[in-house]
A and B are shown apart, each in its own frame.
Chain A
Amino acid sequence: QIQLVQSGPELKKPGESVKISCKASGYTFTDYAMHWVKQAPGKGLKWMGWINTYTGKPTYADDFKGRFVFSLEASASTANLQISNLKNEDTATYFCARGGFYGSPDYWGQGVMVTVSS
């Protein structure tokens, strides 16, 4: 069965960096893009961008250009999200999701809670 398993919760200080992983199984990793989605506490979903898992080319939404980097370890069927120079407003749950029907998210990881606090 298709599964996306994400890494564990993170507690970081402002200015630090964090790297979140998303390991896929149950399908051919390079056949589907991978989305990243942010959900701040008690808020809605915000699309951060996606990465073409065949070419490695990332696309970032406007609000996520600069401090956010999508990367791959294709041999391990894993997508990564790195956030640098963390700010309090980066406190959120970050989801990965497979780009399925017409590229839109179908299967989702369980989410990673990142807390940024001094």
Chain B
Amino acid sequence: DIQMTQSPSFLSASVGDRVTINCKASQNINKYLNWYQQKLGEAPKLLIYNTNNLQTGIPSRFSGSGSGTDYTLTISSLQPEDVATYFCLQHSSRFTFGSGTKLEIK
């Protein structure tokens, strides 16, 4: 089974900051990597699919990059409404979620 290591677990940043969250797969996942945002008490929302494709309706300050085993979610200018937990998901071989990154405003 493919394991996903997500970092950091917790992130505190200021409004307007550039924020990056990372996921590392235990083997090459060929860009089959999604990112989700989960606000407190809500269902996860798909932000980015297949590494760098923005889901419809998601603000352009969110972007994704990566290849092979290493992937990154970037928020170019952090907004108050971005407070949430972010998860990656590999779907190259079955499905495995990362452990999550809790993002708060400093």
Which residues on A are within 8 Å of B, measured CB to CB? 35, 37, 44-47, 50, 61-62, 95, 97, 100-111
Question: Can you list 14 pairs linking A and B with CB atoms under 8 Å apart?
Answer: A35-B95, A37-B97, A44-B98, A44-B99, A44-B100, A45-B89, A45-B97, A45-B100, A46-B97, A95-B44, A100-B46, A104-B91, A106-B49, A111-B43
Contacting residues, chain B, for A46 (C-beta < 8 A) = 97
**B contacts with A: majority SS:** loop
Contacting residues, chain B, for A44 (C-beta < 8 A) = 87, 97-100
Distance A91 CA – B67 CA, assembled complex (angstroms): 36
Contacting residues, chain A, for B50 (C-beta < 8 A) = 101-102
- How many chain B residues sit at the interface, stated as a range, is 20 to 34
User: Which one of B44, B49, B87, B94 lies within 8 Å of A101 (CB-CB)?
Assistant: B49
Q: A45-B36, A45-B100, A101-B50 are in contact. List 6 more A-B contacts (CB 8 A).
A: A45-B38, A45-B89, A102-B32, A104-B95, A105-B36, A109-B43
Nearest 3 CB-CB pairs, A to B? A108-B43, A104-B91, A47-B95
Contacting residues, chain B, for A109 (C-beta < 8 A) = 43
B63 within 8 A of A: no
Distance A22 CA – B34 CA, assembled complex (angstroms): 23
